[in-house]
Structure 1
């Protein structure tokens, strides 16, 4: 559901009582958590329980299960409702808020409300936003900055997706999927990459890329932009930003980078690299997460911290202490010699990056992947490329499309992806019955193998079921 952004964006302390419709999601729960910690009266509702709700209830936030107009009975004139983009047009709470003329905000305006008064560090890009936001947060925490942060996943080190800090910095994941990043006014921005996605929102690849160019206008002219220039889209954006007079720092392995990353070494679940800022060697960083894309994310986060004036050694310790976020190459456990991981990748480039990382972790073992396509529109556009990316696995199970925000389309199913996987017959399985997948994975996996559940939907629930069938427990 698209809720317009109001012309005037009020700070959180002027919103009155705030009710979140879809409070169980990663984005809205983060905003609600920060507001509640700052003393704003917060309530919310969701159609099902989620892992984000217990910690909100611990803060005293009433979280209703199910949507009902009666949940807004405590709101009056001057109070606010924040609505998830996943809400349906006929949501009874949305209809009640509109009928009563309450202030109704999209999640982007809700996040802007808690950003007010802070120096915002916005992390944008097609892929890697959650991990990079988390890495930057950990680096700044170790450097003593105590930032407020809002991340699209649970930060393993803190157990939360958001926290209200005492410092003046606000680290935020700036999502482009619905144009939310065009609402914020960051002091500095980090762009991981720019590759077409969310074309259900933007229509064309050209319009999608143009949104990132428009995002440049939101950055404080006295601030700066960090780009991972190994990515062609981010490199193009960096050139546009420089032409506009914005300070830009390019990061990567390529010759055009201002901050170079060299000597990459991947060993199991670790990734090591050396950093040089121009002609000045800074040192070596050893991450506890695997994969080249995570190296680039970490290097970009490091540069943001350096340009803010923090020291390399403090920032390095923060990066090296990062143990991941939920659903980003997350280790679920091991049983009967089979390791089980879970990741959120749902775009062809994300799939390729995570399979490269998983291959390093698997070592001599095989890589068995269960992939669930996410969104009908994305599968329609990128389904063949998804299948091609999955060829990096040894054996692939493809589930049907996870429906979110869209209705089913009989012409767009997981079969479209499965038929595009260029592996020999017998190594690709299209399974419509999701409940049968855990047993199939158990039957396919052998001791030493790595099973990876992949996708942005409820495929994440399968890993623990696999471990249980193997006689193990979740990590």
Structure 2
């Protein structure tokens, strides 16, 4: 596939996190970008301002004149624009098929994992930017330091979030890969945990022969990848907090308000004391991975730690949106039981004297069905739980699974209720929260709108 200035690529699902970032890269390279999506979004407005032709809704004529079409993982083969493109002889690609052409000529640094990959990708990008390496990058969220999810840099490396969904990451052949953890998710695509592990094994096998795998030793499946690569003569490093055998460790981890700090050690040597504006052991692990990866690019651990002191959380990654009337609001993308538990524990430690509310927007019916028992037990650290309607995304409803039933099941463990609208959720919190309170929004959909309802001028 030829990706050159003047070529026209049309995106079906341009408003999504993955495709919007690629569109931004192509615009930065002087290409013609058009795209469509079913609903408007801030990222689509931004892309239009940068020169993309953006359409709300879908129609066959939107693909006219395109040299190629890139379709989101959520777009079926019988989609009107996909069908039209193929009828016109316009090649249609998925992200996995698109990535090699996009990354050609770059030293590729890929960050994969069930959890933490967006934050780790953003941290690594930020460190390299501070070191003057000016990488190109694609992050699965809006970086707090750049207000972008992607950009074309002048440097020779490309930092990319390697998404496992739809096997996108199998389109990569990285020079360096981080694997933060491996856990079953996306049950609509990966039927079993074994399927997930197999996909990550294939991803690790695609690291270039002289490349490096950096894997989290605190996650046994990720550590197994490192051991396997070493056994085959490849290069691998491990990092961790609890694993004493990790090559790199974060030790003496301490919380300080909404931040944290830890010491970086390797081989009995202390390299630096790192300070983050983010709380939680999981964020210390993310930072450690980014520091080790940046060192491979010639950035000292001490220099990288200094850069992380100025790191701002990526959007919707334990993002403290603000406080009003004694209610602090944290917005997070958590949509898996493991991530929800970790974020609630972190919120409890960060605000120990406050009443803790969780707002959960369940994401996809298949995920709720597969991890139902785990979700019910994930909210034990909360004082109150509000459950909004399930965000179906690409799916049809599954009989027997509803947010009202989920709320009733959770209420057997802690007080929970179903709120049919976002306004209902905000009204309930304003009326019933015991100040001071903390609200953690757990949503990979659109429930982040509740933050505006709680913090806005009309709150």
TM-score band, normalised by the shorter chain? over 0.9
- Residue of 38, 45, 65 corresponding to 2:29: 38
Q: What whole-Å deviation, never above 9, does each CA across 1:46-91 have from its counterpart, x for those lacking one? A: 112112123322221111111111212223xxx1000011224443
Unpaired stretches in structure 1, ≥5 consecutive residues: 1-9
Matched ranges for 1:52-201 at <5 A: 52-75=43-66, 79-201=67-189
Aligned to 2:386: 397
Partner Cα separation in structure 1 for residue 351 and residue 107 of structure 2: 41
Q: Give TM-score, length-normalised by structure 1.
A: 0.93
State the secondary structure of the residue aligned to 2:265.
strand
| Greater Cα shift, 414-423 or 246-255 | 414-423
State the secondary structure of the residue aligned to 1:368.
strand
Partner Cα separation in structure 2 for residue 423 and residue 278 of structure 1: 48
Partner Cα separation in structure 1 for residue 435 and residue 353 of structure 2: 11
- Residue of 214, 225, 228 corresponding to 1:226: 214
Q: Give TM-score, length-normalised by structure 2.
A: 0.96
Matched, 1:370 2:362: no
Partner Cα separation in structure 2 for residue 433 and residue 465 of structure 1: 12
- Residue of 256, 262, 265 corresponding to 1:267: 256
Q: What whole-Å deviation, never above 9, does each CA across 1:226-262 have from its counterpart, x for those lacking one? A: 1111112212222222212221111012111001110
Residues 59 and 424 (structure 1), Cα distance of their counterparts in 2 relative to 1, 3 Å cut: closer
CA contact (8 A) 2:6 2:30 kept: no
State the secondary structure of the residue aligned to 1:369.
strand
| Greater Cα shift, 287-296 or 302-311 | 302-311
State the secondary structure of the residue aligned to 2:312.
coil
Q: What whole-Å deviation, never above 9, does each CA across 1:293-344 have from its counterpart, x for those lacking one? A: 0100000110001122212232112222111011111122211111111100
Matched, 1:430 2:418: yes
User: CA offset at residue 97 of structure 1?
Assistant: 0.6
User: CA offset at residue 276 of structure 1?
Assistant: 0.9
User: CA offset at residue 277 of structure 1?
Assistant: 2.0
Aligned to 2:402: 413
User: CA offset at residue 437 of structure 1?
Assistant: 1.6
Partner Cα separation in structure 2 for residue 202 and residue 368 of structure 1: 32
User: CA offset at residue 11 of structure 1?
Assistant: 4.8
CA contact (8 A) 1:22 1:87 kept: yes
Partner Cα separation in structure 2 for residue 63 and residue 270 of structure 1: 39
User: CA offset at residue 409 of structure 1?
Assistant: 1.4
Residues 443 and 384 (structure 1), Cα distance of their counterparts in 2 relative to 1, 3 Å cut: farther
Matched, 1:338 2:317: no
Partner Cα separation in structure 1 for residue 63 and residue 413 of structure 2: 56
Aligned to 2:205: 217
State the secondary structure of the residue aligned to 2:328.
strand
Matched, 1:312 2:301: yes
CA contact (8 A) 2:5 2:31 kept: no
Partner Cα separation in structure 2 for residue 433 and residue 152 of structure 1: 27
User: CA offset at residue 419 of structure 1?
Assistant: 4.0
CA contact (8 A) 2:411 2:417 kept: no
CA contact (8 A) 1:134 1:155 kept: yes
**How many pairs align?**
458
- Residue of 381, 403, 414 corresponding to 2:370: 381
Q: Which runs of 4+ in 1 moved over 6 A?
A: none
